[in-house]
């Protein structure tokens, strides 16, 4: 028996030994913990573990998807609750993005006094923006503004709060931004306005890191 076949047999034996325990597990995280305990959380062995689980009727991917759907539903509920919280500290920011003909793009987050908080070119691995698609770039810029609002509230000692994001883009996915806020325990309001302060900043050369700010100063009194 070669080494690979031996590993398959070893995993089959382990699963058979712990069959009742594994079948009683209700989430993929419990299965992850089991795999970690038995040194199976590797690129080579974890796929084998998942496949062998099917032989006892345990579907890892199905459990993971169910967990994800439950988590997303809880975030939607939390976002709705946070949206009703008004007597909290607030951060007001303007966000915008621009797209170049060469496939490059840039974003900007600006404060109430027209001072840039964070701006520069998008990284190629940006998780939201699709190169050449302005709406996705605007979505990414607004998502960055939500994150900065969270960091500002955190710097000011607040566990929760509200971000008011102003944009010129009427096509943002506002529920997605509110879920981003819920992950960070802040409410999110989005206002559409033709104020182009952030647009102009996104088109400016250079950059500014978000770390180069007194973030706590962005928070308005609650």
pLDDT attached to residue 40: 96
pLDDT attached to residue 222: 58
pLDDT attached to residue 1: 53
Q: Which residues of the chain have pLDDT under 50?
A: none
Q: Please write the tens of the pLDDT for every residue from 119-135.
A: 999 999 999 999 999 99
Please calculate the CA angle 47-52-58 and round it to the nearest 5 degrees.
100
**Does the predicted model carry a pTM greater than 0.75?**
yes
Q: How far apart are the first and last CA of the chain?
A: 69
Domain 85-220 has CATH 3.30.420: yes
Query: Where exactly are the structural domains of the chain?
Result: 3-81, 85-220
pLDDT attached to residue 128: 98
pLDDT attached to residue 73: 87
């Amino acid at each position: 028996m070669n080494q690979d076949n031996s590993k398959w047999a070893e995993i089959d034996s382990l699963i058979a030994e712990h069959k009742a325990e594994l079948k009683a597990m209700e989430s993929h995280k419990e299965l992850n913990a089991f795999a970690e305990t038995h040194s199976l959380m590797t690129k080579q062995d974890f796929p084998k573990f998942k496949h062998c689980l099917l032989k006892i009727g345990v579907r890892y991917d199905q459990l993971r998807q169910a967990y994800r759907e439950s988590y997303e539903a809880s975030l939607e509920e939390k976002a709705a609750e946070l949206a009703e919280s008004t007597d909290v500290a607030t951060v007001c920011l303007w966000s915008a993005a621009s797209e170049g003909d060469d496939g490059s793009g840039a974003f900007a987050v600006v404060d109430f006094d027209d001072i840039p908080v964070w701006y520069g070119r998008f990284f190629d691995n940006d998780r939201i923006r699709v190169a050449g698609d302005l709406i996705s770039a605007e979505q990414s810029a607004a998502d960055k503004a939500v994150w900065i609002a969270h960091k500002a509230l955190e710097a000011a000692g607040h566990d929760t709060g509200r971000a008011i994001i102003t944009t010129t883009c009427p096509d943002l996915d506002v529920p997605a931004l509110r879920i981003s806020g819920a992950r960070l325990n802040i409410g999110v309001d989005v206002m559409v306005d033709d104020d182009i302060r952030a647009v102009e900043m996104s088109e400016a050369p250079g950059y500014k890191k978000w770390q180069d700010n007194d973030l706590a100063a962005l928070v308005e009194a609650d």
